[in-house]
Amino acid sequence: MHALVTSRIDYCNGLLYGLSECEIAELQRGQNAATRLLTSSRIYDHITSVLQELHWLPVKFKIHFKILLLNIKALNSMAPAYMNDSINVRKHARYSLRSLNSGTLLLRPAGKMNRYFGDRSFSVSAPTLWNALPACLRNNSSIFIFKSGIKTCLFKLAFSLKYM
């Protein structure tokens, strides 16, 4: 199942950020069908509880996971140079701000962005998703700790569980 379905959904899914809900729903239907096949669930059974049991993120959150993982790698200089250069850390002002305690924040590029493709670029999508994370996740420098923390956070968001 992993080789045929989930690897195809995960392949370059960072490029799928910003797709319409209709297009994401088609991919989600593919994941749901794979889940039903794997667990021998009936077509009329609710799939949400089965996805929770398997600890599988819905497609939309898998996309967010991939972008955030590439982002932490870029912040730790473990990504290709072009990705490292597209991430800009927000510099703090000389005076005291409440945002100083909120962890590393990233700058979105200034200027008018193309509505369809500019907002979907890594240099825009990564800071948008990163700045929306809780501060406790943004302060992690370890990729392994971040990876498990972000999966937990996205899992709770995906299945409407309150985070912390």
pLDDT tens per residue, range 51-91:
999 889 999 999 999 999 999 999 888 888 888 888 888 76
**CA dist list (Å): 106 to 10, 48, 50:** 25, 33, 36
Residue 40: both structure tokens together: 């021998």
Burial of 14 from C-beta contacts in 10 A (0-12 / 13-18 / 19+): buried
How far is the C-alpha of 12 from the C-alpha of 14, rounded, in Å? 5
User: What residue ranges do the domains of the chain occupy?
Assistant: 2-158
- The full length of the chain comes to 164
The pLDDT tens digits for 105-162 are: 888 776 556 555 667 788 888 888 998 898 888 887 788 999 999 999 999 999 986 5
- Using one digit for the tens of pLDDT, what is the confidence trace for 31-45? 999 999 889 999 888
Give the whole-angstrom CA distance, residue 164 versus residue 162.
6
Region of 160 (left: φ > 0; alpha: ψ -120 to 50; beta: rest) is left
